[in-house]
Structure 1
Amino acid sequence: MTGRSGKLTPQDAKRILADLRRKAILYRGDEEAGDDLVQFTLETAIDEYASRPADVSLGQWLHTIMARHLN
């Protein structure tokens, strides 16, 4: 997977989003609630992108954001 300075390929993005969605559905129990969690995660990521740690992969960072919203 790409680092912060690397380019994200469409395949990378597809894999990251599929994994994020799969985990969100498991966390929330159904597809609609999981999709809502992914949407909220991505909206938060856009707002917080400037503070993303350089040493954390995009996938790890998104999963960390999603975990913050589980409660």
Structure 2
Amino acid sequence: MKRINQELGITTIVNLRHIDLTRQYAKRILGFRAGKLVFDGSIEKATDEVFADIYGRSIGKDKMLGVE
């Protein structure tokens, strides 16, 4: 996906449920909960609190792959 976006300039939309991967690859996040948009912003603005709001609960290790 990264190559498609960066080298070819094609917008990609990816559904990631692992926050560490999201932070590693995303530039912009659209966060949905129960079918409603609850966040639309840059990765820099996507704090742990924002992710907790998106998921509707605190974030546990189940949402991490361990990728730094």
Report TM bin, short chain.
under 0.3
User: Which structure dedicates a bigger proportion of its chain to helix?
Assistant: 1
